[in-house]
Structure 1
Amino acid sequence: MTTLDDRPRTALVVIDVQNGVMANAYDRDRVIANIATLVDKARTTGTPVLWVQHSAADLPRDSTPWQYVPELPHRPEEPVVHKRYGDSFEDTDLEATLAAHSIGHLIVAGAQTDACIRSTLHGAITRGYDTTLVSDAHTTEDLTAYGAPTPDKVIAHTNLYWQHHSAPGRTAGTKKTAEVTFNPTP
């Protein structure tokens, strides 16, 4: 039900599952395994997989921390969007990539829940995309030292509010990895 014209397709968007981001991530191995399952499901049906990769002072481009985790191998034909801000749309070619593939629905997984995941979810829905968060395929690190809730609570709260989020002409929501299906792409 996207508000974008001629955008009938769905894509899996994997955000920032990089060595440096995932080093201290909550429930890291389970989340990565769920994302790997999603990637396999998408590839099997011909659904586009888009990789988002963050760079910053602690994630310098081409460094080991900047690289995607080895458990998630990228295929050369799968687009990689390079970003420097939380919202994967800001100052990137994500919108152009999605438009080129006629994508109007995003299935979102990755890290960090309280930063790049939330920013991208809101960025997508305000730009007209239907947006589904995979509730057991995103994570964050423990930021309680800075006053944040524990990671499990950050994840649960994000799932709660995105499950009930809405906007005119667009859908939001959550699904678990096992519930996500991709329709075969012609």
Structure 2
Amino acid sequence: MKTAVLIVDGQVGLVDGMNVHAKDQVLHQIANVLTLAHQAGWEVIYIMDDDIGQGDATQSVIHPKITPAEADVVFHKTSTSAFFRTGLDEYLKSRGVEHVLIAGFKTEVCVDTTCRHAFSLGYHVTLVADAHSTSDRDELSATKIIQYHNANLHGLDNHEFVIEVQPLDDIKRRVVVSSN
């Protein structure tokens, strides 16, 4: 099954400007996801939210710790879904992608919405459990939000497609096993 990696909203203005929980650890894990993707020959697609930075180019750029490689692709969005009016679905289907691996920011908004939208469009989805994050809310801590979404999304299926939530180490083991 052909895989593409989606990095959602990994922009300076969000990552550095919104008190993201475990920011450095999550950026490190996303960098590891990118390394795995490039080694496995998976396409990497960055999703950028056009509202982040609102005209301040220093805030709207991809975070320097997860900078795109030359061959990586960038899509821009204006809603919480990476798929809504972006052409991403058509692009992925034209390339034969059936599985998307998702990482990024913010867990309960754009990451969750992108997972569910991909699933509803017929993609198998893997959310990297330790490569997404958010900020504390008045109602819940970031840790609780992340735990809730990891538990809530894992195993969601419609008898044909499924969302899995797995830590990066488990994903790496599957890639090694499947390449032998």
Give the structure-2-normalised TM-score: 0.91
Q: Identify which of 156, 165, 169 aligns with 1:174.
A: 165
Equivalent of 1:29 in 20, 24, 43? 24
Partner of 1:4 in structure 2? Answer: none
2:129 maps to what in 1?
135
Residue of 159, 169, 173 corresponding to 2:150: 159
C-alpha distance in structure 2 between counterparts of 1:112 and 1:29, whole Å: 15
Q: How far, CA to CA, are the matches of 1:112 and 1:17 in structure 2?
A: 9
Q: How much does 1:152 deviate? A: 0.3
Query: How far apart in 2 are the matches of 1:83 and 1:61?
Result: 15
More helix by share: 2
Match in the other structure for 2:11: 18
124, 145, 157: which one pairs with 2:118?
124
| Structure 2 CA distance for aligned equivalents of residues 61 and 43 of structure 1 | 31
Matches within 5 A, 1:80-95: 80-95=74-89
TM-score by length of 1: 0.88
Alignment-mate amino acid for residue 35 of structure 1: I
Higher relative CO (Cα under 8 Å, sequence separation at least 6) belongs to: 1
Q: Which runs of 5+ in 1 are unaligned?
A: 1-7
CA drift of 1:162 comes to 1.2
Equivalent residue pairs, number: 174
- Percent of residue pairs bearing the same amino acid type: 25
Partner deviation per Cα, 1:135-159 (whole Å, 9 max, x = no partner): 1100011222xxx311000000000
Amino acid in the other structure paired with 2:13: G
Q: Are 1:52 and 2:47 matched, yes or no?
A: yes
Q: Which amino acid aligns with 1:103?
A: V
Q: In the TM superposition, what are the counterparts of 1:108-119 in structure 2 within 5 Å?
A: 108-119=102-113
What residue in structure 1 maps to residue 71 of structure 2? 77
